[in-house]
Structure 1
Amino acid sequence: MRTVLGEPLSAGGYDLVLAHEHLLIDISCWLDTEHPVHRRLRDLPVGPDSIDLVRSHPFASPDNVVLADPEVAIEELTIDPADHQLGDHDPPGRMLVVDVTPDTAGADPPRLAEISRRSGVDIVRGCGPYIERSWDGRVDPDAVTADIVAAFDDRYPAAVIGEIGTSAPTTAGESRVLRGAAQAQAELQAPLYVHVDPWAPDSRRALDVIEQHGGDLTRTVICHQDIVAVRDPAAVRAVLDRGALVAIDIWGDEDGYGGDPMPTDDERLSAVLGLIEDGWGQRLLHSQDVCTKSQLRRFGGPGYLHLWTRIRPRLERIGLTVDLINDQLAGNALRLLSGV
């Protein structure tokens, strides 16, 4: 397990592991050019005059769906010890970011390495294709496998596979990509992240394909389970019963999404506590999945440090043990990465 700089993970461990983030990404494949709001936002940058409308319709703004500035990423990763959001808490002593930006959604390993080097934050990166509308042409599973394996031997090495994209429902092409990713996982013995549609996850199909082609479900992460954990907790338990990990990874995002909003953090917290009470506490991963400008702190969003500044104190106040809190914020993700 190496960082994007080719270095081993910190022997001293981490206070915070962001298990699913994007420091640089282009998800123009999600841009909704047919939405009536798109015409108003088409030529507007994200800023004070547009942010309220953007936050209500994040995928109607071309500028919102691209994060391309290392300077912004470095600033957003930096936490000021005097930040009022910390209250009486210290900033994290050491932080690890798992950047799972797909190859077909703006992945830029050299600049990711630059961000790590200049910020002092350890970063491990993912690789592989995203949802089908982010790539063109027919995909060969064996070619996907070869590309993923090669990424692990890159100058800026990958350490996880994914996030591999699936739609609702999973397309035939995406199933071929999953097959290639599963084959790569079998060869590399690496974690595999699967993007599912947050509102209509096709999780069972993804797990079936991975299992059929030699993947390891115990090191497979089904991402974006925030909505389903609140609305259909039995579906989340079905994923956990298969042996996979579940990621509640959009913390802090309570935006409207054109009338089908994300859950609140209160709802997420209640769902997570229910899963912990049922014995799944060590199979949960957490992050903020920052992939749009409206999620950045500079625009009033939760940013990359929301888990530490906002959620960790709440976990303490409701009485979770230190060990359970550490599992949620770092331990579970580190066990996934190390294979322990």
Structure 2
Amino acid sequence: MIPTVLLPVAADAVAGACSSREEVLHRATSSSMTAFHDNPITLANLCEARSSGDADRFRLFSLDEGVQELASLKDAGGGLLVECSTAAEGRDPSGLAEISRRSGLGIVLGASCQQTNGTAQHEASPETIRMELEHQLRFGEHGTSSAASSFAPSPAGAAVAESASAPARIQAGFLLVKLNSSCCSSQAAVRVETSAVTTTARSPAHDTHGGLGRTAAIELEGAAMAQQATGAPLMIACSHFVRWPMVLAALVIATTHWGSSQDGTAAAAPAAAAPSRKVIVAGMHGGVSQSLQHQASLLSKGIVLCFDCFGRVEWLPGPNYYPSDEESAVRIAELVRHGFADRIVLSSGVSRRFHLSRFGGYGYGHVLRTVPPRLLRLGVSAKDIGLMTRDNMLGLLDWYTPPPPIEIPKDYLPCFWCKKRFEPVEGEYFHKFQFVYCNIKCLRAHRDTGFDADASASK
């Protein structure tokens, strides 16, 4: 089954396609809310907004906006969304559960370290990270939403309050590690140094000789160990403009999977290796900074690639630029012709407010509306498109087997009012006439009805 923020669901019960790397909601902070309220996105400053996308005021902190924007994904045929905010970025599990309930879309949350690439993780070991991630996958986590409602009133004239019926614990459905350009210090070096994995846990963090920094290597090793223990997929989300993205990808995979670097040099074997077909490298596109050869090399190892750079509206100073949708579609079509349709997944990659349709972006439904027609025109079959937009990701997420239900002892009694079964401990339950109650509150509630035999808490 697929663990969602509400309940585990069967893969074949998901009605629609899957968007494989999106961000929907971050925890609201006073600074982000104040910054956006004082300087909202308008036509006059839209160009400036698109060139400063990491500003705090562009965080996704509105429940109402999330629900409204996801309507475009549902209208385009979407049924499931993979949410890729990390704990360190301020993901909001309870808020996501409320958005899922109100939008009717399934949302899958990623298990991530509380301090991704942060100072607290310098004290961590792969084993402690494994335990943290595995707990999120198996048992979930509590969380009180701090998401804000939209600044605009809801259709009813007031913000909709968060539902009190959120699940007690919200379970993660996949492992998530985010990496950026600071994780790789040299274009020429592609070896994962032994010291990157075996350095003692309390030594200072540093970049090894051109390899992965120690902090990133420890996080990846811990995630790979959790993947091996649970069978959940591991997504490694790289920036679209890591300085040498494919070299970094090779380092990543060498650390977490096959134990050799891009040039074939043997590397330090990790304590636990993630099965290749359960590893997703996100941040892929068809631009010049990512070559067809390197992408095909990763795919040939069994790695799944997530193309999530569609409908980009921002512009960047310097040499980097976002490729057009046509460039990425052409690259995908070339990889499909090489036989890799079963190892590619697609997503719009929404992560900031100006990606939303209400602020001039293309929204969550863009990839499902526009990319399949492009791929059909380029000769990709409808069957292969179905694999990339639905079946591949659902197959990866379908790893969870719920524990068997706890058998209730036969001598437990049902409470007439709340219908729950309880252990009949002398002095802790109540009788009245022919009725039995688990506590005094249920007895009093039934008494208020005049002990109506047809009444119950569910009514």
Secondary structure of 1:257's counterpart equals coil
Residue 62 of structure 1, CA deviation: 2.5
Counterpart residue number, 1:257: 316
Counterpart residue number, 2:351: 291
Given the superposition, is the C-alpha separation of residues 13 and 137 from structure 1 closer, same or farther in structure 2, using an over 3 Å criterion? closer
Counterpart residue number, 1:57: 52
Counterpart residue number, 2:63: 70
- Please state which structure has a larger fraction of its residues in helix: 1
Given the superposition, is the C-alpha separation of residues 80 and 199 from structure 1 closer, same or farther in structure 2, using an over 3 Å criterion? closer
Deviations 1:43-94 (A, max 9, x none): 73333222111113323x3312x1111111110001399xxxxxxxxx3455
Secondary structure of 1:279's counterpart equals coil
Counterpart residue number, 1:194: 236
After TM superposition, the structure 1 = structure 2 runs for residues 97-108 of structure 1, keeping only pairs within 5 Å, are 97-108=81-92
Secondary structure of 1:111's counterpart equals helix
Say yes or no: does 1:6 pair with 2:20: no
Aligned counterpart for 1:146 among listed residues 131, 139, 143: 131
Secondary structure of 1:52's counterpart equals helix
Q: Distance in 1 between matches of 2:116 and 2:133?
A: 17
After TM superposition, the structure 1 = structure 2 runs for residues 18-37 of structure 1, keeping only pairs within 5 Å, are 18-25=19-26
Given the superposition, is the C-alpha separation of residues 296 and 94 from structure 1 closer, same or farther in structure 2, using an over 3 Å criterion? closer
Please report the RMSD computed on the Cα atoms of aligned residues, expressed in angstroms.
2.7
Secondary structure of 1:258's counterpart equals coil
Secondary structure of 1:310's counterpart equals helix
Given the superposition, is the C-alpha separation of residues 227 and 328 from structure 1 closer, same or farther in structure 2, using an over 3 Å criterion? same
- Identical counterparts, % of pairs: 24
Counterpart residue number, 1:335: 395
Residue 6 of structure 1, CA deviation: 1.9
Aligned counterpart for 1:206 among listed residues 249, 252, 260: 252
Q: Distance in 2 between matches of 1:131 and 1:52?
A: 32
Residues 230 and 271 of structure 1 are in contact (CA less than 8 Å); yes or no, is this contact kept in structure 2?
A: no
TM-score normalised to the size of structure 1? 0.85
Residue 244 of structure 1, CA deviation: 0.8
Query: Unmatched 5+ residue regions in structure 1?
Result: 32-40, 82-90
Residue 195 of structure 1, CA deviation: 1.6
Residue 308 of structure 1, CA deviation: 1.8
Counterpart residue number, 1:38: none
Residues 15 and 95 of structure 1 are in contact (CA less than 8 Å); yes or no, is this contact kept in structure 2?
A: yes
Residues 129 and 165 of structure 1 are in contact (CA less than 8 Å); yes or no, is this contact kept in structure 2?
A: no
Residues 228 and 235 of structure 1 are in contact (CA less than 8 Å); yes or no, is this contact kept in structure 2?
A: no
Deviations 1:123-149 (A, max 9, x none): 111011388555645132212111111
Secondary structure of 2:215's counterpart equals helix
Amino acid at match of 2:71: T
TM-score normalised to the size of structure 2? 0.64
Given the superposition, is the C-alpha separation of residues 242 and 171 from structure 1 closer, same or farther in structure 2, using an over 3 Å criterion? same
Given the superposition, is the C-alpha separation of residues 100 and 179 from structure 1 closer, same or farther in structure 2, using an over 3 Å criterion? same
Q: Distance in 1 between matches of 2:22 and 2:323?
A: 19
Counterpart residue number, 2:98: 114
Q: 4+ runs of 1 displaced by more than 6 Å? A: none
Residues 44 and 50 of structure 1 are in contact (CA less than 8 Å); yes or no, is this contact kept in structure 2?
A: no
Residues 239 and 283 of structure 2 are in contact (CA less than 8 Å); yes or no, is this contact kept in structure 1?
A: yes
Q: Distance in 2 between matches of 1:27 and 1:115?
A: 15
